[in-house]
Structure 1
Amino acid sequence: MIILVAFVAHWYLSLFAQTFFQHRYAAHRMFSMSGLWERFFFLFTFFTQGSSFMSPRGYALMHRMHHAFSDTEQDPHSPHYSSNAFTMMWQTRNVYQEIWLRTSPAADRFEGNYPEWVSLEEFGHRWYVRVGWGAVYVAFYVAFATAWWQYLLLPIHFMMGAVHGAIVNWGGHKYGYQNFDNNDKSRNSLVFDFLTGGELFQNNHHKLSSRANFGVKWWEFDPTYPVIWTLDKVGIIKLNKPKANKVRIAA
């Protein structure tokens, strides 16, 4: 039981770091926060993502490229230009590496307005840090696993952030329904969104990219938004006003 609890905790804590800090804050600046809270969420992201930690700068630039080139050959992770989810993940990894190493001319136009903590980001990318996190996961399983099949969950721990990204980008651009015509393949994969904390409302988000609540229709529940709303009310963050965007939702 403790293994399953740990797996679920790692899944959703890592997911929250991705959708709250890297996506909605770093990439889109949907809200602001003090420097102290920014450092707190940097550390939160590092510890919850562990071996799959991504630089908020790298994430932000890659995600801005995704919006600008959605479902074209320049999209860092469109399922419509990959034969399967694994080749898409590898393509994403290659684009991210170029951004991280600052060798991607395509990312230059998207530079700026993202949080940085250079020493922590560089530390999180060291090979021995990633291997160290992997060793921690293995040691935990050796100590607490009660059945052989539980060890099959370990690869997901190692690649947690990449797995989240694959589900969102593959599912959110192939399966589901569309509220808006965005001139791309983005879709709302509502049936799978319990795995992604609102991230699978891709069609809504691509239309309303500065809106902190990814749900649009009354029955579209974005589970991350109530947390954001609460953090705003208690003064930890300050929500920014979404950019004006007149839209008509399909019936």
Structure 2
Amino acid sequence: MITSKRGAGRRPAAVLAASLLLVGCGAGAARTTDRTPGAETTGSGAARPAPAPRLSLDAAPRRLPGLGPRTSAKIPPKSGQVLVVTGRGRDSSVSTAVLYERTASGWHAGTRWPAHNAFKGWTDHHVIGDLRSPVGVYTLTDAGGLRRDPGTRLPYDHSGGFSVDGTGFEGEPLAGSFDYVIAIDYNREPGTTPLDWTRPLGAGRGGGIWVHVDHGGPTQGCVSLAEKHMKALLRALDPARRPVIVMGHAAALGR
């Protein structure tokens, strides 16, 4: 059965039945129109409370490491959680991710996680089919996946529409890549399922850019993390703290 957990008062956007175009890592996911609003429940039907996990914390710098003044200025002042994804190079598909939490004493860093980004690296002007991940600062408002909600406080769309198969750029199987996803609010309408097709910048600027489960190779435009790290991230993100992702290669983020 397909269930959805959406924020109170939100209206789910229309989800088309047509196949997705090749616009991002979400291209392989089918769409569904069976989305029943309501809290995620346990097998007994009782509502499952969202946990409040804590990540391991290190030092507390006042400014996020590796981010220059231009990049830092794009982070909303009220954001209390920032996922920084730093690529090894402009044309590299290898990156690392760190979730920072803001406290009164400064930014605390969580564990450093290995990650992948797009096959050809990064770009400041993403367009459909360029096989590069968009550099920038984007909000993280919505999640979903083929598997049930692992305990996130983000609105979560549990749907068969996240099914994917085939192989990646290095011949690795893609099955399971969309078991858990977090929509990156690049060229999409925040407050909707990651499967929503709305593209405010136009279809030519791509879309379907997610954080999803790593399949062992480069992505089409998304960021991918190991499954255990995806689950940890989903449980850690709190919409009340207005989480964002800062993503790009080191030189771009250092501006």
Q: Give the TM-score band, short-chain normalised.
A: under 0.3
Q: Which is richer in strand?
A: 2
- From the CA coordinates, give the structure whose radius of gyration is larger: 1
Higher-RCO chain (CA-CA 8 Å, sequence separation at least 6):
2
> TM-score if structure 2 supplies the norm length?
0.21
Q: Which is richer in helix?
A: 1
